Amino acid sequence: MGLGMAQTLAGKDFDVLGFDLSAERCTAAAASNVGAPRELPEIFSAADFIVFSLPTARDVAGVVNDHIEQLGRRSDRRVIIIDTSTSEPDVSRELAQRLAAAGHGFLDAPVSGGPGGAATGKLAMMIGGTEEDVALARPVIEAMAAKILHVGPSGAGNVAKLVNNLLVAAHMITTSEGLKLAAAAGVSPEAALRVINAATGRSAISEIHFPTWIMSERFDSGFSMGLMRKDVRLARELTERAGADLPLTGLIGQIWAESAGRLADSDDFTRMGDFRTPAASEKKVATNG
């Protein structure tokens, strides 16, 4: 995702400085119009806008805390960090407060649209932060995203993304079970999917993910099981902190957590929708029998 966004920005005449811990990604960046990777101290000292695309909230906080001093406190330079990671609302709020005290801005701006959306500048971005910082960062945001939704203050973007991904996780399970039911009842899953996508049971998962990555057995959407498990876990934790009574959320979380017994974190998350594969509980019963 990060490389795709960097390439999109460079292709729209932004002067892009890139960094990644992965030597492979740095090589790919150097071979593209992003140019040779730079060290983080240089990026924090020179950039006006810094775009994050990191796995966890801990990674986001670690980078900010290690390099915040390099942003400086000069009144003539206000740096805006645009964090496109799916992170934790409380961490984003804390970082926004710390950066504001130093005269800089922080937007939690998780995205939807996958690697394809990142590479074409057609992401959907849900943003938490101040109106002032959103306005300052708008040229960069508009270069990366086709749909820009300012949800509210710091943390609001993360909340909206966790709600979205919780629904994605649920739709992956329910669509798979619906197709498994159709097959068990003697109806072609392909025919059933066509009906779903022409009727009210459809979702982005049934319309895009199943035809593209599951029915074709490609399973290469670019989003991993580990990342989706992390997002579902964060949604469950948010549910507990908010004191919301959401029994289905608990069940979704349990199903995704238990899938670790048959699907590795490195597997593509679309494998969770493979209705041809027996569920973990079914495998267990067969083994014990």
pLDDT tens digits, one per residue of 131-140: 999 999 999 9
pLDDT tens digits, one per residue of 145-175: 999 999 999 999 999 999 999 999 999 999 9
Instruction: Mark whether 122 is an active-site residue.
Output: no
- Burial group, residue 145, by CB count within 10 angstroms (0-12, 13-18, 19+): buried
Cα dihedral 15, 32, 5, 232, rounded to 10, equals -140
| Catalytic position from the list 161, 180, 230, 283 | 161
Question: What share of the chain has pLDDT > 90, as a percent?
Answer: 84
| Token output for 81 | 């960090």
- Please report the domains of the chain, with CATH numbers, ordered by start residue: 2-152 (3.40.50.720), 159-276 (1.10.1040.10)
pLDDT above 50: residue 37? yes
Q: How confident is the model at residue 93 (pLDDT cuts 50, 70, 90)?
A: very high
pLDDT tens digits, one per residue of 262-283: 999 999 999 999 999 765 434 4
